[in-house]
């Protein structure tokens, strides 16, 4: 549709800038936020760019960028996390940041177009196109249940940390769904469509669906979409494989979950016993700092594990999950 767009580079981009021990800032500087793109990075000319809104709306419409800027600007602070490899939900990748996005509120935007009563899902399409794995030519499309709108905060964002989006992060406009994994935050937005059912795009239906844990009566084929982020905590300090002295140190990190984190516990015996930490409240959908004072009882090797529990009582799995507990090894030097 948009002839003024070219991909540069073409193909998968995976630029993970910071490891857990480098995530020292509460709000991750834009240049340190990881970049993920399946098909390449579109370079978009604003003069020919438009956002179309169609499907099950009362008044289909096209917006120019100027028209979007005229809507009230809203901001939201939220964790921003890549779900990891689409076919390996068992591998934690810890690609995470905490960002302040600003832009137009999707709920307010849809009051302009109206929502037909049969509409159940939002489909969001980016301008990037191309091949992914062995799938045919396809655009990047994701979907979101319209019910998510009632919690608020869903933005059509044009700023990251108060500055215009860069091409890598979705210039000129991207979707931001606080609480959902990053894969749903469609960049280089071109079209929004309301529909009665889920989208059939490869990134919606084939990839990014996790097997449901087998339980009584569950079909082995059952999957659920990679939408809400599960509870997760990372230890920022001490750094994995660091050598420390015998004195008291602060062990701290960040924890997040789509519905907020209630508690973070630490174990020094590989999960046999846990002790709780102090945890800050969350602001909007931000990550939350946890910390505890730790005095090593001896010199030698230690492992520390952090485990978050969300406000619904769900805790992180010990292993084989994208949000499996984070472990650091610490060497305590002889005094």
Ligand X SMILES: Nc1nc2c(c(=O)[nH]1)N[C@H]1C(S)=C(S)[C@@H](COP(=O)(O)O)O[C@H]1N2
Footprint on this chain of ligand X (rule: CB under 6 A): 33-39, 82, 126, 128, 140, 169-170, 182-183, 185-188
Q: Which does 187 bind (CB under 5 to 8 A by kind): ligand X, Mo ion, none?
A: ligand X
DSSP-derived secondary structure for 4-41:
T-EEEEES-EEE----GGG--SSS--GGGS-EEESSEE
Q: Which does 35 bind (CB under 5 to 8 A by kind): Mo ion, ligand X, none?
A: ligand X
Query: Measured from the CB of residue 101, what is the shortest distance to ligand X in angstroms?
Result: 10
Distance between CA atoms of residues 75 and 153, nearest Å:
8
Tokens coding 35: 């970049």
Tokens coding 2: 């948009």
Query: Measured from the CB of residue 16, what is the shortest distance to ligand X in angstroms?
Result: 10
Query: Measured from the CB of residue 335, what is the shortest distance to ligand X in angstroms?
Result: 43
3-state secondary structure of 54: strand
Distance between CA atoms of residues 45 and 39, nearest Å:
18
- 51-55 vs 189-195, strand pairing mode: parallel
Q: Which of 36, 68, 236, 328 binds Mo ion (CB under 5 A)?
A: 36
Q: Applying CB under 5 A, does 192 fall inside the site for Mo ion?
A: no
Query: Measured from the CB of residue 211, what is the shortest distance to ligand X in angstroms?
Result: 19
Query: Measured from the CB of residue 21, what is the shortest distance to ligand X in angstroms?
Result: 19
Q: Which of 39, 41, 82, 156 binds Mo ion (CB under 5 A)?
A: 82
Q: Say how far residue 122 (Cα) sits from the centre of its chain.
A: 18
Distance between CA atoms of residues 213 and 205, nearest Å:
18
Q: Which of 98, 113, 183, 199 binds Mo ion (CB under 5 A)?
A: 183
| Closest residue to ligand X in the complex (CB) | 126
Given the rule CB under 5 A, which residues bind Mo ion?
Answer: 36, 82, 182-183
């Amino acid at each position: 549709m948009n002839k003024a767009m070219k991909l540069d580079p073409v193909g998968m981009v995976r630029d993970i800038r910071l490891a857990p021990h480098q995530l020292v800032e509460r709000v991750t500087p834009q240049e340190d936020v990881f970049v993920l793109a399946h098909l390449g990075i579109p370079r978009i000319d604003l003069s020919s760019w438009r956002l179309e809104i169609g499907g099950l709306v009362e008044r289909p419409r096209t917006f120019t960028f100027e028209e979007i800027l005229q809507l009230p600007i809203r901001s939201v602070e939220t964790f921003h996390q890549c779900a990891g490899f689409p076919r390996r939900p068992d591998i934690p990748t810890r690609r995470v940041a905490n960002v302040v996005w600003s832009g137009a509120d999707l709920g307010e935007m849809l009051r302009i177009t109206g929502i037909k009563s049969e509409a159940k899902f939002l489909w969001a399409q980016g301008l990037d196109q191309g091949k992914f794995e062995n799938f045919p030519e396809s655009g990047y499309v994701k979907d979101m249940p319209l019910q998510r709108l009632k919690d608020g905060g869903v933005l059509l964002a044009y700023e990251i940390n108060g500055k215009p989006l860069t091409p890598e992060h979705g210039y000129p406009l991207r979707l931001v769904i606080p609480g959902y994994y990053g894969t749903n935050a469609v960049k280089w937005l071109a079209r929004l469509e309301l529909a009665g059912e889920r989208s059939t795009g490869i990134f919606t239906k084939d990839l990014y669906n996790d097997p449901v844990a087998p339980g009584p009566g569950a079909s082995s084929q059952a999957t659920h979409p990679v939408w809400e982020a599960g509870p997760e905590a990372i230890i920022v300090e001490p750094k994995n494989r660091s050598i420390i002295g015998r004195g008291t140190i602060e062990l701290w990190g960040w924890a997040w979950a789509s519905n907020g984190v209630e508690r973070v516990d630490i174990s020094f015996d590989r999960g046999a016993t846990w002790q709780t930490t102090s945890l800050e409240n969350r602001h909007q959908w931000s990550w939350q700092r946890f910390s505890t004072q730790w005095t090593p009882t001896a010199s030698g090797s230690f492992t520390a594990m952090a485990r978050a529990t969300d406000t619904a009582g769900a805790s992180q799995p010990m292993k084989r999950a994208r949000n499996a507990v984070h472990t650091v090894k610490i060497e305590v030097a002889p005094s």
